[in-house]
């Protein structure tokens, strides 16, 4: 039995899906951050920490977790294959501290159900921090170029083949940029330059660069 092509959302529906998921991810991260801030502040005050210091600890730890996760994901997306032992150890320590700050008050008072409840937010923060960057990169990396979304006149999802490649409008624009860059510098354009000029993700910029180089090598 032959498999049918996968249904891929395009046009305004795809834009709505991407924007909705992106907004939900940031809202969840903000709520988890605020939840951890409240628990960390309450713990600091209960331990007698000065009022102007107690609000600083939890945000510093939560931001450390997010910064480390995003940095590690970005470095991996650039093709680095090392183990990154130092950042991973600091990430594990920061994640553990985040959970402790949120659950310590309930554990000290022997309220273990409350401790389990308080652990949900930091676990969500860590989990979304781990999968969020790659998820958003995938969603926005396969999006059409800015200015082409308004050209889609249909609101219903359409059926397109798997991995259809970059949109023709982006390919044409990438070829123009590559030609202008080569005339100005005498060097081939880089993926980062394409990404910056077209305002697309690394994945899509890499695909465009491969198409441009294949066209150039083929003499087209």
Q: Measure the CA–CA gap between 186 and 180, rounded to whole angstroms.
A: 10
What is the predicted pLDDT for the residue at 11?
Answer: 62
Q: Measure the CA–CA gap between 42 and 17, rounded to whole angstroms.
A: 38
Q: Output the tens digit of pLDDT for each of the chain's 220 residues.
A: 444 444 445 567 777 877 888 788 778 878 877 888 888 888 888 888 888 888 888 888 878 877 887 787 777 766 666 677 888 788 788 888 888 888 888 888 888 898 899 888 888 877 776 776 667 667 665 444 444 444 444 444 444 444 556 778 888 888 888 888 888 888 888 888 888 888 777 777 788 888 888 877 655 4
What is the predicted pLDDT for the residue at 121?
Answer: 81
Q: Measure the CA–CA gap between 170 and 176, rounded to whole angstroms.
A: 10
128-137: string of b/e by CB count within 10 Å (b at 16+)? Answer: bbbebbeebb
Q: Measure the CA–CA gap between 41 and 45, rounded to whole angstroms.
A: 6
Q: Which residues, at least 6 apart from 23, have a Cβ–Cβ distance to it below 8 Å?
A: none
Helix (H) / strand (E) element for 8: namely: strand 7-8
What is the predicted pLDDT for the residue at 146?
Answer: 43
């Amino acid at each position: 039995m032959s498999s049918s092509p996968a249904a891929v959302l395009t046009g305004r529906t795809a834009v709505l899906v991407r924007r909705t998921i992106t907004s939900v991810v940031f809202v969840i991260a903000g709520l988890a951050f605020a939840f951890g801030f409240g628990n960390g502040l309450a713990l600091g005050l209960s331990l007698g920490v000065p009022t102007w210091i107690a609000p600083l600890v939890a945000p510093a730890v939560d931001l450390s977790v997010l910064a480390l996760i995003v940095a590690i994901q970005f470095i991996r997306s650039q093709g680095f294959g090392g183990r990154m032992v130092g950042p991973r150890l600091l990430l594990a320590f920061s994640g553990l501290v985040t959970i402790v700050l949120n659950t310590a008050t309930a554990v000290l008072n022997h309220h273990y159900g409350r401790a389990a409840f308080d652990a949900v937010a930091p676990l969500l923060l860590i989990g979304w921090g781990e999968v969020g960057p790659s998820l958003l990169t995938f969603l926005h990396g396969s999006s059409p170029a800015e200015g082409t979304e308004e050209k889609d006149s249909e609101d219903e999802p359409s059926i397109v083949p798997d991995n259809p490649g970059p949109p023709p409008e982006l390919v044409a624009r990438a070829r123009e940029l590559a030609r202008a860059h080569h005339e100005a510098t005498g060097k081939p354009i880089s993926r980062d330059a394409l990404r910056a000029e077209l305002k697309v993700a690394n994945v899509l910029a890499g695909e465009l660069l491969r198409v441009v180089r294949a066209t150039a090598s083929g003499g087209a």
